[in-house]
Amino acid sequence: MHSLIQLSIVVLLLPLLSFVILIFFNRRLPRRGDFIGVGILGSAFAISAYIFWSVIVQTYDPAFRIAWDFTWIDLGNVPGVGPLQIKMGVVIDNLTAIMLAMVTLISLLVHLYSTGYMAGDKNYGRYFAFLGIFTFSMLGIVLSDNLFSIYIFWELVGLSSYLLIGFFFEKQSAADAQKKAFLANRVGDIGMWLGILILYSQFHTFSFEQIYANLAAGQFGLSNGWLTAAGILLFMGCVGKSAQFPLHVWLPDAMEGPTPVSALIHAATMVAAGVYFVARIFVVLTPDALHVIAFTGALTAFMAATIAITQNDIKRVLAYSTVSQLGYMVLGLGVGAYSAALFHLVTHAFFKACLFLGSGAIIHAMHHEQDMRWMGGLRKHMPWTFATFTLATLALAGLPLTSGFMSKDAILAGAIGFAKVEGGGIFYLIPVLGFFSAMLTAFYMGRQIWLVFFGESRTHLKPADDHHAGHHAHASHDEHTDEHHSEHGVHEVSWNMRAPLVILATLSVFFVYSPDPLDGGKGWFMKMIQTPATVVGENNHQKGELLAAGVAAPTLPEAVPTVAAHGEAPAAAAGEHGGAEKGGHTYADPRQAEIIHAGHGAHYTAIYISSIMVLLGISLAFVVYVFRIIDPEQTAIAIQPLYLFSLNKWYWDEIYEATFIKGSMLIANILSWFDATIVDGIVNGAATLVRNFALLNDGFDRHVVDGMVNFTAFTVNTTGAVLRKLQTGKVQTYVVMLLLAVFGYFVFYLTRLIY
C-alpha cells in the first residue's frame, strides 16, 4: 500500500475521530473541545498539504494516479456471474490531491473562524462535531475510487448538511430548511443511484476503473439510449447537490444554518461535490448527456444571477451567486471545458468562502442583522473585512488579475468553442447566457459592496417590529438582542475570524494559479488537470475496425491510463498552446478533440467579451447605486412584473409547494383513506362476514367500511338471519323441513332420471 494512500486514509479518518470525540465528550472537555476540532483539522490539512506537495509539485505528472482497494462485501461465487465482490477503495490523482488540500484548508479555516463566530452557543461542542463528520464525508467523496462509496459519502454529506442547516433547530424556518435540503438532495440521489445501477447491472462492478475499461471496450449490453440515460441520471446527483435547476431551491434556504457552515458546505465544498462528481464520471457522458448538462448549467447560471440582483438578504445574494457560479462550472463540464470547470471550482471555493466568512463577520458585527437595506458605511468600522470582501468580490465578478477571471474566462472560451463545433444555432445560447450572467454578477456584487460598505449606516431606518422571530430563535445570542443597533455596536472582528479572511483573499489572486493573469492555461492547474478521453464517443461502435486499422484506440483493461498517458505526455511537454493541437490529435474521439481545440482558439475572444460585460455590469452598478442616476426603487416600480419575478425567485418555491408537496400529501391522504376503508373493507371480507354473523361488539361497530363491504355485510347478515330463523323451535316445522329435504332431493333425482 502506497505511503500516500496511507496518509490519505489518515486524513480521511482524522475528522471522523474529531466527530466521535466531540459528539460524546464535548460537555466534559474544556471550551467544549473546539481546540480538538481545530487541532485535528490542522493536522489533517498538514498531511494533505504534504500529499499535495508530493503529488503536484514533486511528481509533476498529469497522468499521476495511485489507487488501493479492499473487499468490503463478498457475495461469494454467484451463479451466472462468478466470484463477486463489492470493493471499497481510495484513489489519488492530481484532482484528488488538489481537492484534498482545498477541502481540508477551507475546513480548517472555518473551524478557526467558528471558534469566534459560534462562541457562546449552547451546542458549541456539537457544532464542531458536525463540522468534523462533514469534513469526513466530503473527503470521502474526494477519495472514493468507486461509485458505491461515492454514493455513500454523498448521502453522508447530505446528512451533515442536514444537521448543520438545522443547527438552530428551535427555529421553525431552520427545521423546514433542513428538511427541504435533505429531500431535494434525495430526489437528486435517486437519479444518481439509478445511474449507478444502470452501469452496475452491465458490469457487476462499481469501480470507475473497471466500468470505464468495459465501456471503452464497448461491452455495454444495453442501447446507447441507456448510456445517455445513465449519464443524465448520474448528473441528477449533481443537480441535487450542486443546486442546479430545477433542484436549486434548497440552497438559498440552507442559509438558515450558521454562516461559517454556509461558507464551508454551501459555498466552497459540498455544493462543489456535484461538479467534482460529474468530472469523475465525465468520460461516460455521451454527447447528448453533455448537451443536457451544458444547458442546465447555462440556465441555472442565468436564472440565479437574475434572482440575485434583487435579493436584500446579504447571505441570499451570495447564495444565489453561488448557484449561478455552480451553473458556470456545470456549463463548463457540459461544453467539455473540463479543466476550466474544475479550475473554477477551486478558485470559486476560495473566494466564495471568503465572501461568506466576510458576510459572517459583518452579520456578527451587526448583531445578526442580515438585511443589506439596513447596513451601509461599514467600510470605516471593518477595514479588514472590507478589503478582503472587496477582493473576493472582484474575483467573483471576474475582473482581471483575479483567479475568478482566469477560470470563468476559460469556461466561457470553452463554451464558445463548443458552440462553434456543435454548429452554432441554439448552442450559441450557452455562451450568450454565460456572458450575460457575467454582467449580472458584476452588477449585483457591485450593488452589494455599495449597500454594505459605502454610504451612511441605515440601521436606524429599519422598522422596529421586524424580524424579531429571527432573534429569539438564536437562543445562543440572546444577550445581544436587547442591545439596540447602533454604530458603536459595530466593530472589527477578532483575529481568529480575520485570519481566515486574509488567507482566503490571498488565494483569490491570479499568481497563485498562473504566472499570466490573462491565461489560466499557462498555470500549473490546467496542466495537471487535463480533459480525460471519453469512453463513449461515436467511435465506440466502430472500435472494431479502428483496432483493425491499427489506430491506437484505447484497449482493455487499462484503457483510460493509456489514453491519458500518450494523450497528455506530449501536451505536458509542449507547454503553452501545445495542449490544444497535440491534444486534438490525441483524443480518440474526434468531437472531444475539436471542442478542446476550438476552446483554446476562442480564448481571447472570450477574454474580450467577458471583460466588457464585467465592466458593463460594474458601471451599471455605479450608475444605479453610487451616482444614483437611476433610482433603483423607481426602476423596480417601473418594471414591476420583472422585479417581482426576480424578487420571488421565479416563484419556484410556490410552484413546487403547489405541485409536488401538496400533490404527494394529497395522494398520501387519498391512499390512507383507501387503506382504512376500501382495502381494509375488502380484505376483511372474511372478517366482515364473521363480524356480521357475530354478536356485535363495540369494536366492530365503530369500524366503518365502505359501501361495497357494507353490501357484503348486508347480504351475509340477511342470509345468516334466514338460516337462523329456520330453527323456529316448532317441532313440526322441523318435520316439514325433514320431508322437504327428502322429497326435494327425490324430485331433483327424478328430474335427472327423466332427462
Partner 1 sequence: MEQLTTIGLNHYLTISAFLLGFGLFAVMTRKNAIVVLMGVELILNAANINFLAFSKYNGGMEGVMFALFVIVIAAAEAAIALAIVINIYKIFKSVDVSSIDSLKE
Partner 2 sequence: MLSLIVFLPIIAGLVILAVPSSQKQIIRIVSLLAALAQGVLAVLIWRGYNPSLPGITGSFQYVEKVPWISLQLGGFGSLNIEYFLGVDGISITMVILTALISAIGVLSSWTIQKQVKGYFILYNLLASAMMGCFVALDFFLFYVFWEVMLLPMYFLIGIWGGPNREYAAIKFFLYTLFGSVFMLLVMIGLYFSVLDPATGNHTFSLVAMATQTNYIKGAILGPDNVFWRYVAFIVLFIGFAIKVPMFPFHTWLPDAHVEAPTPISVILAGVLLKLGTYGMIRINFPLFPEVFHASMYVIGIFGAINIIYGAFCALAQKDLKKMVAYSSISHMGYVLLGLAAGNSEGMVGALYQMFNHGTITAMLFLLVGVIYDRAHTRQIEKFGGLASYMPVYAALVTVAWFASLGLPGLSGFISEALVFVGAFSSETTRPIAMVSVLGIVFGAAYLLWSLQRMFLGQRRSDAAYDLVVGDDGHEHIHFHDWKGKLDLDGRELAMLVPLVVITIFLGIYPMPVLGMLTTSINKLVEVLSPVVMSHL
Partner 3 sequence: MFELPSGAEIQSIIASLQASVGFFIPEIYLSLLFMLLIVIDLVAKGRKNNLLAITTLVGLAGSFFFIYQQHALPAGEFFFGMYVLDEFALFFKYFFVLSGMLAVVITMADEQFDSEVKSIGEYYALIVAMVIGMIMMACSSDLLMIFLSMELVSFTAYILTGYFKRNARSSEAALKYLVYGAVSSGLMVYGFSLIYGLTAQTNLIKISAELATHGYDPLVMIFSTLLVLAGFGYKIGAVPFHFWSPDVYEGAPTPITAYLSVASKAAGFALLMRFYYIAVPHDGHAYEDILGIDWLSLLILLSVASMIYGNVVALWQKNVKRLLAYSSIAHAGYLLLGIIVMDELGTQATLFYLLSYFLMNFGAFYVVILIANKTGSENLDDYRGLGKSMPLAGAALTVFLISLVGLPPTLGFIGKLMIFSALLAKGSLYMWLALIGIMTSVISLYYYMLIPLNMYLRESRHHEEKQLSPGMPAQIFMAVLMILTIYFGLFFAPLSDFAKYSSAMFGLTLH
Residues of the shown chain interacting with partner 2 in the complex, contacts defined by CB under 8 A? 72-81, 84, 148, 151-153, 155-156, 159, 166, 169-172, 174-176, 179, 182-183, 186-187, 189-190, 193-194, 197-198, 200-201, 204, 664-665, 667-669, 671-672, 675, 679-680, 682-684, 686-687, 690, 697, 699-700, 702-703
Q: Which of 739, 741, 747, 750 binds partner 1 (CB under 8 A)?
A: 739
Decide which of partner 2, partner 3, partner 1, none touches 556; Cβ closer than 5 to 8 Å per partner kind.
none
Whether residue 539 contacts residue 590, with contact meaning beta carbons closer than 8 Å, is answered with: yes
Decide which of partner 2, partner 3, partner 1, none touches 474; Cβ closer than 5 to 8 Å per partner kind.
none
Which residue, 686 or 726, is less far from partner 1 as judged by CB? Answer: 726
Tell me the three cell numbers of residue 317. 445574494
Which residue, 679 or 739, is less far from partner 2 as judged by CB? Answer: 679
d(CA 461, CA 373): 9
Q: Which of 736, 741, 747, 750 binds partner 1 (CB under 8 A)?
A: 736
Which residue, 689 or 709, is less far from partner 3 as judged by CB? Answer: 689
Alpha helices in 79-223 (DSSP H): 94-117, 124-143, 147-165, 172-203, 208-216
Which residue, 711 or 749, is less far from partner 3 as judged by CB? Answer: 749
d(CA 183, CA 186): 5
CB of 155 to partner 2, least distance (A): 5
CB of 163 to partner 2, least distance (A): 9
Decide which of partner 3, partner 1, partner 2, none touches 464; Cβ closer than 5 to 8 Å per partner kind.
none
d(CA 167, CA 454): 33
Which residue, 81 or 686, is less far from partner 3 as judged by CB? Answer: 686
Which residue type occupies 380? K
CB of 729 to partner 1, least distance (A): 3
Q: Which of 28, 702, 730, 752 binds partner 1 (CB under 8 A)?
A: 730
Whether residue 409 contacts residue 527, with contact meaning beta carbons closer than 8 Å, is answered with: no
Q: Footprint of partner 3 on residues 682-701 (CB under 8 A)?
A: 686, 689-690, 693-695
Give how many residues touch partner 1 by CB under 8 A.
Answer: 11
CB of 731 to partner 1, least distance (A): 6
Asked if 512 is part of the footprint of partner 3 (rule: CB under 8 A), the reply reads: no
Decide which of partner 1, partner 3, partner 2, none touches 734; Cβ closer than 5 to 8 Å per partner kind.
partner 3
d(CA 669, CA 117): 44
Which residue, 528 or 689, is less far from partner 2 as judged by CB? Answer: 689
Helix axes 603-621, 429-453, angle to 10 degrees: 40
Question: C-alpha distances in angstroms, 248 versus 181, 241, 260, 415, 650?
Answer: 9, 9, 20, 22, 12
Q: Which of 483, 729, 751, 755 binds partner 3 (CB under 8 A)?
A: 729
d(CA 12, CA 274): 19
d(CA 396, CA 387): 14
DSSP-derived letter for residue 696 is P
* Alpha-carbon radius of gyration of the chain: 32
CB of 690 to partner 2, least distance (A): 7
Those residues whose C-beta lies under 8 Å from the C-beta of residue 480, and which sit 6 or more positions away, are: 367, 368, 471
- Nearest Cα neighbor of 182 from 121, 253, 80, 233 is 253
Tell me the three cell numbers of residue 299. 440556465
Decide which of partner 3, partner 1, partner 2, none touches 746; Cβ closer than 5 to 8 Å per partner kind.
partner 3
d(CA 645, CA 637): 12
CB of 584 to partner 2, least distance (A): 39
Which residue, 246 or 720, is less far from partner 1 as judged by CB? Answer: 720
Q: Footprint of partner 1 on residues 191-210 (CB under 8 A)?
A: none
CB of 287 to partner 2, least distance (A): 24
Stretch that binds partner 1, among 74-82, 190-198, 614-622, 735-743 (CB under 8 A): 735-743
CB of 472 to partner 3, least distance (A): 51
Which residue, 488 or 725, is less far from partner 1 as judged by CB? Answer: 725
Which residue, 78 or 721, is less far from partner 2 as judged by CB? Answer: 78
Asked if 749 is part of the footprint of partner 3 (rule: CB under 8 A), the reply reads: yes
Which residue, 612 or 739, is less far from partner 1 as judged by CB? Answer: 739
d(CA 378, CA 326): 29
Which residue, 46 or 747, is less far from partner 3 as judged by CB? Answer: 747
Asked if 714 is part of the footprint of partner 3 (rule: CB under 8 A), the reply reads: no
Asked if 718 is part of the footprint of partner 1 (rule: CB under 8 A), the reply reads: no
Stretch that binds partner 1, among 107-115, 473-481, 619-627, 734-742 (CB under 8 A): 734-742
Asked if 734 is part of the footprint of partner 3 (rule: CB under 8 A), the reply reads: yes
In DSSP terms, 90 is beta-bridged to 68, 144
Q: Which residue has the cell 476540532?
A: 37
Q: By CB neighbour count within 10 A (0-12 exposed, 13-18 middle, 19+ buried), where does 43 fall?
A: middle
Which residue, 677 or 717, is less far from partner 1 as judged by CB? Answer: 717
Decide which of partner 2, partner 1, partner 3, none touches 725; Cβ closer than 5 to 8 Å per partner kind.
partner 1
DSSP string, 309-352: TT--BHHHHHHHHHHHHHHHHHHHHHHT-HHHHHHHHHHHHHHH
Asked if 488 is part of the footprint of partner 1 (rule: CB under 8 A), the reply reads: no
CB of 733 to partner 1, least distance (A): 9
CB of 701 to partner 3, least distance (A): 16
Alpha helices in 507-622 (DSSP H): 524-528, 543-548, 559-573, 575-586, 590-601, 603-621
Whether residue 44 contacts residue 135, with contact meaning beta carbons closer than 8 Å, is answered with: yes
CB of 206 to partner 2, least distance (A): 9
- Nearest Cα neighbor of 258 from 390, 402, 413, 364 is 364
Which residue, 77 or 732, is less far from partner 1 as judged by CB? Answer: 732
Which residue, 76 or 423, is less far from partner 2 as judged by CB? Answer: 76
Which residue, 605 or 684, is less far from partner 2 as judged by CB? Answer: 684
DSSP string, 458-517: -GGGS-TTSSHHHHHH-GGGHHHHTSPP-GGG--PPPHHHHHHHHHHHHTTBGGGT-SST
Whether residue 406 contacts residue 345, with contact meaning beta carbons closer than 8 Å, is answered with: no
Q: Three-class SS of residue 92?
A: strand
Which residue, 471 or 485, is less far from partner 2 as judged by CB? Answer: 471
Question: C-alpha distances in angstroms, 60 versus 56, 118, 332, 372, 569?
Answer: 5, 41, 25, 46, 11
Decide which of partner 3, partner 2, partner 1, none touches 61; Cβ closer than 5 to 8 Å per partner kind.
none
- Nearest Cα neighbor of 118 from 241, 16, 263, 271 is 263
Q: Which of 83, 701, 731, 751 binds partner 3 (CB under 8 A)?
A: 731
Positions in the binding site for partner 1 (CB under 8 A):
724-725, 727-732, 735-736, 739
Positions in the binding site for partner 3 (CB under 8 A):
686, 689-690, 693-695, 720, 723-724, 726-727, 729, 731-735, 737-738, 740-742, 745-746, 749-750, 753
